[in-house]
Amino acid sequence: MNQPDRTSSNYKLEFAVFALEATAQKANMPTKELFDRLNRLGLVQNILLDCYETLHTQSRNYITDVILEALQAWEEDNKKQQKE
């Protein structure tokens, strides 16, 4: 049985889906809401995809913590910038 070629893009997307679902579960929020919040700040690209090489070797707990911490920090920074 032939398996389809797997590219790094496939791995990154699979990882992003895994990370989104795990983080949404940990934060007790719908995955779509988490995705929208991360995407609005550019964090889907900047963390989930661009940091794939580092993050995919870490534990589920570490990954979810990094995502939630980044989301909180970037949202706070975004609010400060809007007030200025």
SS3 32: helix
Stretch 53-71: mean pLDDT, rounded?
96
User: pLDDT tens, 30-46?
Assistant: 999 999 999 999 999 99
Residue 9, in any domain of the structure: no
Residue 3, in any domain of the structure: no
Residue 53, in any domain of the structure: yes
Residue 10, in any domain of the structure: no
**What is the pTM assigned to this prediction?**
0.86
* pLDDT above 60: residue 5: no
Other beta carbons within 10 Å of 29:
12
DSSP 60-72: HHHHHHHHHHHHH
Residue 58, in any domain of the structure: yes
| Domain count for the chain | 1
* pLDDT value of position 83: 82
User: Which domain, by its residues, includes 26?
Assistant: 15-83
Percent of the chain with pLDDT over 70: 93
Residue 6, in any domain of the structure: no
